[in-house]
Amino acid sequence: MTDYPTMIAQVNRMEPVPRRIRAMLGGRVVLDTIRAMYLWESPKYPQYYIPLDDIDATAVIDESHVQRLSRGTARRIGLRAGDVDRAGAGRVYTEDSLPGLAGLARLNWDSLDAWFEEDEQVFVHPRNPYTRVDALRSTRHVRIGLDGVLLAETSSAVLVFETGLPTRYYVNRTEVDFTALRPSPTVTECPYKGRTTEYWSAQIGDAVHEDLAWSYAFPSAALLPMAGLVSFYNEAVDIHVDGVLRERPVTHLRKVP
């Protein structure tokens, strides 16, 4: 089986974010900057580091707690907007830090209600500027099955190519056998695609395969061709493309033998 690695980036690498970054808390914008920096804390994707001056001073609570961390000395801060309090929301680095970090705040993603790049909401974590996601229409013949049951078949799929992940095949709903699927309450989010609006498990005989398929009704603008279509985890189903069975990949999203 193919193992899909993440792109390797140097840890602690920094570079400017070319996009306007904003975040909301308690119904209002509490940070707005065109001076954010990317910092790769791990090879997979960077985090935003925000100049403290670009965070609403009325929302910042100095928690009088100094931390000596691997990247330098930092002061812990909380955030407050209206009736919403987020203790330990982040930290501001001091002069005793890696070059370029002084005066920058690293805020915990979940301490804010919503993050935006320009005017598009971003989920889960910042987008990696070196990751590309494309949604392309295709007339290749795609069959998707599991344990001998045909779940979908199409010659008009949308193929989604995302750096570091296997190709995903998005199928028109009229070409999916929903008699084998059961709605699931699961919701997932992706920095590049947005938030799923539907999930399904598959029931094959007495076996239930949880959260096997999903759909985005309102994906990010760049991926509108896949809106409303249904995709299945390659890791858990059998996919034939132009008559050739594709190997089930192994990814961090779903490890299924």
pLDDT tens readout for residues 122-133: 999 999 999 889
Instruction: With cut-offs at 50, 70 and 90, classify the pLDDT of residue 8.
Output: low
Residue 110: is its pLDDT beyond 70?
yes
Give me the pLDDT at residue 5, please: 53
pLDDT tens readout for residues 146-170: 999 999 999 999 999 998 889 999 9
Compute the average pLDDT of residues 72-96.
Answer: 96
Give me the pLDDT at residue 198, please: 97
Q: Cα–Cα distances in Å, from 210 out to 45, 68, 206?
A: 28, 43, 13
Kindly give, in sequence order, each residue whose CB lies less than 8 Å from that of residue 216, ignoring residues fewer than 6 positions away: 193, 194, 195, 196, 197, 223, 226, 227, 228
Q: Which of 229, 224, 242 is nearest to 175 (CA)?
A: 229
pLDDT tens readout for residues 177-194: 999 999 999 999 999 999
Q: For the chain, which domains are there?
A: 14-122 (2.170.150.40), 133-245 (2.170.150.40)
Query: Which pTM value belongs to this model?
Result: 0.84
Residue 57: is its pLDDT beyond 60?
yes
Contacts 24+ apart (CB under 8 A), 136-139: 136/160, 136/161, 136/225, 137/225
Give me the pLDDT at residue 255, please: 46
